[in-house]
Amino acid sequence: MIRSMLDLQRQWLSIPRGAVLLIVSMLLVSCATPENHYDPIEPVNRFTDGVNDAVDRVALKPVTQAYRDLTPDAVKRGISNFYDNWSYLNTVLNDFLQGKGRQGFEDFGRFLVNSTIGLGGFVDVASSMGLEKHEEDFGQTLAVWGVGRGAYLIYPLLGPNSLRKTPDFLTSTLTDGLFWLSFVISPQAAIALTALKFIDLRSKAMSGTNMRDELALDPYVFTREAWFQHREYLIHDGKIPRKPQQDDWEEDDWGDEDWQSQGGAAPESAHRADAVGSYPTRSGLRSYRVNLSSHAIRREAEDMQRRLEAKGIPAEVAAVDVGGRRWFRVRLPDLFPPQLARRKAQAMRAVLPDLQGAWVSPASGSGG
């Protein structure tokens, strides 16, 4: 399977330039048509998602779990850094395509620093030098250019995507240093590098999928909504335009102002990931927790807790029973009003890749 994927990568280069432009043009036109709804091919997507899930449960997840159990944290971080670094030129390219010139030069500097001083990318030296990591891709670039997001798609083995982001397969492949390396190393080494990359990606997603399973949600709907929300977060660089509240949390009756009047810190001052404050509970008002990750094994939850505390973020591990099965949640120890809780969860997603599935839940009830 992995060998065939490598062959597919090589076939990208054999496609005539005109054909590539035609394919991309068709995708962009599809994005702009009114008939292209949010999820117009849901039955097909669900079938593909089911096949992907079966492959994951039978093959990828057990291998990934063994990798997480047997590999020291320092080694796992080094491997993630390595793959992130050699795919980082895609971010650099899209920085410039989006008109972010200064960020583009800084990101190129980050790539050079980690590729040299950082021992080929295994050590993230650039972050300690103040060169922040960004995440840009061609899908975000198309959004900046005004292209609509288009239909939701599930690709075999590769998972969630959209018509707008699909052309990024081409740019991310052609800017990946390991793709070009695969032409000069042995097929066995290329297969090993590709397999380890998929295991690393699956390991990063483990917390989010565990949380989805714990909450007993429709996996397809949950993944779709989480994917689109994360894409919005990336497109707007974490500054998502505010929309009118349409939930049932009754925030008009007990918003941030109510909490400030009771002595709580202003949301702006507590929004930073390292500035988690304590908020008083007001009689009659519901408070919410920010859950960062969910784990089937306590040791993994404690490992995540230590990683967060190393970044100056206090966290606690709480055991909860859901449907007769025990899970271990890593969460912030403080309670928050709903609006601030959601902002805090959003801020946590920017701290670590493993926190992309952070969610908010009422403090009362089971597992509160």
Domain membership of residue 22 (yes or no) is: yes
Q: Are residues 199 and 328 in the same domain?
A: no
User: Are both 187 and 45 inside the same structural domain?
Assistant: yes
- pLDDT for residue 341: 84
Domain membership of residue 324 as a residue range: 262-271+284-368
Is residue 102 situated within a structural domain?
Answer: yes
Q: Could you give the number of structural domains in the chain? A: 2
Q: Are residues 127 and 203 in the same domain?
A: yes
Residue reference for tokens 């309670």: 335
Judge whether 48 lies within some domain.
Answer: yes
Are both 222 and 290 inside the same structural domain?
no
Per the structure block, which two tokens stand in for 189?
Answer: 């080494």
308 and 204 belong to one structural domain:
no
- 10-residue mean pLDDT profile of the chain (368 residues): values are 44 40 41 55 94 94 92 93 96 97 97 96 94 95 93 94 96 96 94 94 84 74 84 84 50 35 32 34 66 82 85 88 80 87 79 71 60
At which residue do the structure tokens 């709480």 appear?
A: 318
* Joined tokens for residue 30: 């599809």
**Claim to verify: residue 205 and residue 325 sit in the same structural domain:** no
Mark whether 9 and 105 lie in a shared domain: yes
315: domain CATH number?
A: 3.30.70
What are 220's two structure tokens?
């397809």
pTM over 0.85: no
Which of 97, 134, 93, 127 lies closest to 113, judged by CA? 127
Tell me whether residue 53 is in a domain. Answer: yes
Asked whether residue 240 is assigned to any structural domain, the reply reads no
Give the distance from CA 186 to its chain's centroid. Answer: 32
- Residue 98 is assigned to a structural domain of this protein: yes
Residues 11, 146 within the same domain: yes
Same domain, 183 and 294: no
User: Is the domain of 310 the same as that of 190?
Assistant: no
Where is 360: in which H helix or E strand? strand 359-362
